[in-house]
Amino acid sequence: MSIKISFRNNLPPLIRRSLPSAENQYFKSITKPLQKKESASQNNYNPRQKVEEILKEMNDMVGLKMVKKFIIELQAFVEIQKKREKENLVTEPLVLHMIFSGNPGSGKTTVARLIGKLFKEMGVLQKGHIIECERADLVGEYIGHTANKTREMVKKALGGVLFIDEAYSLARGGEKDFGKEAIDSLVKAMEDHKENLILILAGYRIEMDNFIQTNPGLKSRFPIHISFPDYSIDELMAIGELMLTKRQYEFSPESKIAFKKMFLNMGSFHPYSGNARMVRNIIEKTIRKQAVRLYSEPNPSREDLIRIEAVDLCNDDI
């Protein structure tokens, strides 16, 4: 895992604009210690508590040590910049467009969603939602079509995150391809809505590196690069267990061993084989298989309903 963050003039970007009200509340709240009384017992909107909940959600994700560390740093950075702004210290626009590189199922979309929510609570974004799109949603078939399609997606994403999956494919087809027009429209949108839109370009590492190298204009516009590594077998197992726990299921000791064997039998892990997404598919099919097994039993107990047995494990995906 590597995270490369580069800032213009080697200085971190600062914030110039004044704070929207949610943001004000947030920074007021961080200046005094969080009191237990004001958290659970009151229904009052408490952005600081929300931030902590989102950070916990992120922390509960398996692995991703460097990503978590970076997000915490970013959060602290924004907080401190706000305090500097209050003291009338020099500020600059905060540039938060990002590139996420990594194989499918490595957690890119999940982290992007959490970042959107986090930035909303921190007052950086108004809504914090995420609009996911890919080449087909942006690139049209005739002159002018692409600009319209891109504008449409940008409009939906305003106040939140526009997440472009397999973004490198916009450069496919060379100069005459409408993908280039989509890139130009996106760059324009970044300028026009720089206070209220974060763009995240995602895709395979090598393809994204090439994409950025061949489009030098993009490099400076996306100062944050986060690399998502493939998960280890232990991490994939922990992800599987977490997915079961969230759904109120549990492995039996035998099925846990069988689950690990599924991964061990795969030999060297193919980088494109789906990481956590593959685990999710296995878990969802396993749950359906358990249901079929239990359906033929007259009175399954609560424990039966929770427990996954080795025979339930479904490995069609491997």
Ligand X SMILES: Nc1ncnc2c1ncn2[C@@H]1O[C@H](COP(=O)(O)OP(=O)(O)O)[C@@H](O)[C@H]1O
Q: Which is nearer to Mg ion, 101 or 109 (CB)?
A: 109
Q: Binders of ligand X among 138-167, rule CB under 6 A?
A: none
229 binds, among ligand X, Mg ion, none (CB under 5 to 8 A by kind): none
Interacting span for ligand X (CB under 6 A) from 101-109, 185-193, 209-217, 310-318: 101-109
- Residue 252 and residue 286 in contact, taking contact as beta carbons nearer than 8 Å: no
Max Cα-Cα span within the chain? 72
Closest to 42 measured CA to CA, from 31, 29, 57: 29
Closest to 33 measured CA to CA, from 12, 11, 49: 49
Quote the tokens at residue 306: 């929770």
Measured from the CB of residue 116, what is the shortest distance to ligand X in angstroms?
A: 13
- Classify residue 132 by its DSSP letter: E
Token pair 């449409």: residue: 152
Among 47, 104, 160, 179, binds ligand X (CB under 6 A): 104
Among 15, 54, 58, 64, binds ligand X (CB under 6 A): 64
Q: Does 285 bind ligand X (CB under 6 A)?
A: no
Annotate each residue in 108-147 with x if it binds Mg ion (CB under 5 A) or - if it does not, as one string: -x--------------------------------------
**Cα–Cα dist 52/62, whole Å:** 18
Quote the tokens at residue 274: 């789906």
Alpha carbon of 83 to those of 36, 49, 157: distances in Å?
24, 19, 28
For the chain, state the CA radius of gyration.
Answer: 22
Closest to 242 measured CA to CA, from 99, 60, 8, 34: 60
Residue 102 exposure: Cα atoms within 13 Å on the Cβ side? 26
Annotate each residue in 215-244 with x if it binds ligand X (CB under 6 A) or - if it does not, as one string: ------------------------x--x--
Give Cα 51 distance to the centre of its chain: 16
In one letter, which amino acid is 214?
T
Measured from the CB of residue 226, what is the shortest distance to ligand X in angstroms?
A: 11
Among 48, 82, 97, 108, binds ligand X (CB under 6 A): 108
186 binds, among Mg ion, ligand X, none (CB under 5 to 8 A by kind): none
Measured from the CB of residue 119, what is the shortest distance to ligand X in angstroms?
A: 17
Q: Does 310 bind ligand X (CB under 6 A)?
A: no
308 binds, among Mg ion, ligand X, none (CB under 5 to 8 A by kind): none
Measured from the CB of residue 56, what is the shortest distance to ligand X in angstroms?
A: 13
63 binds, among ligand X, Mg ion, none (CB under 5 to 8 A by kind): ligand X
Among 51, 54, 61, 74, binds ligand X (CB under 6 A): 61
Residue 261 exposure: Cα atoms within 13 Å on the Cβ side? 10
3-state helix, strand, coil in the chain (%, to 5): 55, 10, 35
Measured from the CB of residue 50, what is the shortest distance to ligand X in angstroms?
A: 20
Interacting span for ligand X (CB under 6 A) from 83-91, 117-125, 248-256, 273-281: 273-281
Collect all residues with Cβ–Cβ distance below 8 Å to 270 and sequence separation of at least 6. none
Measured from the CB of residue 243, what is the shortest distance to ligand X in angstroms?
A: 7
Among 68, 188, 221, 280, binds ligand X (CB under 6 A): 280
Q: Does 276 bind ligand X (CB under 6 A)?
A: yes
Closest to 137 measured CA to CA, from 146, 129, 128: 146
Q: Which is nearer to ligand X, 62 or 98 (CB)?
A: 62
Binding site for Mg ion (CB under 5 A): 109
State the residues that interact with ligand X by CB under 6 A.
61-64, 102, 104-110, 239, 242, 276-277, 280
